[in-house]
Amino acid sequence: MKTLFSTQIPSTDRPWFVVDAAGKNLGRLATTIARKLSGRDRVDYTAHIDNGAYVVIVNAAQVAVSGKKETEKMYYSHSQYLGGLKEINLTKMRAKNPAHILEHAIKGMLPKNKLQAGMLQRLRVVPGATHQYEAQKPTELSI
């Protein structure tokens, strides 16, 4: 039996999904969303073709973590100057930029190649409960 190998151009009619992150575990939520963005859950998945869906995440500020991650998980950035390392823990990041928590986790689970930027452009993270993508008629994704 031969393996089917898709060489077609990805379709422009990608599905839209909306996910409520309130009370959901960060890691389990990120893996499911990364599979939707990369298209790995589709039957016509091919590694070199970006055929994923759009994902809108609401209530990103209310995502849950287990254990002591709320105070001990750190996010790092560097200014490329000597002594320019900046670190911020999850509690402060949740107050400053709650969308970054999910974006950072999902980006780490996507492939590290030229397709990653296109996948991340289809990710929309909203800290609150309302979003502006009702015109696309997103379907509810239960996790």
113 has a pLDDT exceeding 90: yes
**Per-residue confidence (pLDDT) for residue 12, from 0 to 100:** 73
How far is it, in rounded angstroms, from Cα 19 to Cα 124? 10
**Per-residue confidence (pLDDT) for residue 16, from 0 to 100:** 97
Domain ranges of the chain: 16-65+97-140
12-70 confidence digits (pLDDT tens)? 789 999 999 999 999 999 999 999 999 999 888 888 889 899 999 999 999 999 999 99
In order of 62, 74, 91, the CA distances from 17 in angstroms are 19, 29, 28
**Per-residue confidence (pLDDT) for residue 44, from 0 to 100:** 82
**Per-residue confidence (pLDDT) for residue 43, from 0 to 100:** 85
Q: Do residues 85 and 78 touch, judged by C-beta distance below 8 A?
A: yes
Q: Using only C-alpha atoms, what is the Rg of the chain?
A: 17
Domain 16-65+97-140 = CATH 2.40.50.100 = no
How far is it, in rounded angstroms, from Cα 112 to Cα 130? 31
Q: Do residues 104 and 79 touch, judged by C-beta distance below 8 A?
A: no
**Per-residue confidence (pLDDT) for residue 46, from 0 to 100:** 87
